[in-house]
Amino acid sequence: MPDDTESAASPAASVRSVLVIDDDPAVLDSLAYLFALYGYRVLTAPDGRRGLEAFREHAPAVVVTDILMPEQDGLATIAQMRRERPDAKIIAISGSGRGEKLDYLTAAEKVGADVALEKLDLAKLTDILPALLKS
């Protein structure tokens, strides 16, 4: 079950909410902490399948998802989210970036991510969130 900071979801509550999906507990906790520091309500999920459950239940304003995960990878998760909510704001992150044998970041953009970033580019990630919330 996804961990979240508020139990009830409402359209008003989701305005500044971020769903973080990552199978690495250290990355998940670090991103959740970072976004909470910036004033976002943070929801978390350890894989794509549970991320989709949280997405459907809480309708977060922005989703930040890893690409390589068990249960359901980020590419399938992004594609499903895009089908269910075409206006969803989705950021894909991956430790395997552009220039790799399989370019996961470009693949994420092709299946529907608004932005695809290297996992460690935290400055860009925190800069992009406000812009996505306004669009």
Candidates 46, 1, 7; CA nearest to 28 is: 46
**Domains, the chain, ordered by start:** 11-108+129-134 (3.40.50.2300)
Predicted TM-score (pTM) of the model is 0.83
Predicted local distance difference test score (pLDDT) of residue 100: 54
Predicted local distance difference test score (pLDDT) of residue 2: 42
DSSP string covering the chain, please? Answer: --EES-SS--TTGGGGEEEEE-S-HHHHHHHHHHHHHTT-EEEEESSHHHHHHHHHHH--SEEEEESS-SSS-HHHHHHHHHHH-TT-EEEEEESS-TTSSS-HHHHHHHHT-SEEEETT-HHHHHHHHHHHHH-
Predicted local distance difference test score (pLDDT) of residue 7: 34
pLDDT in tens, the chain (135 residues): 444 433 333 344 356 899 999 999 999 999 999 899 888 999 999 999 999 999 999 999 999 999 999 889 999 999 999 999 999 999 999 875 555 545 888 899 999 999 999 877 777 888 888 888 776
Predicted local distance difference test score (pLDDT) of residue 86: 95
Check: CB of residue 118 under 8 Å from CB of residue 93.
yes
Measured distance CA(6)–CA(95) in Å, rounded: 29
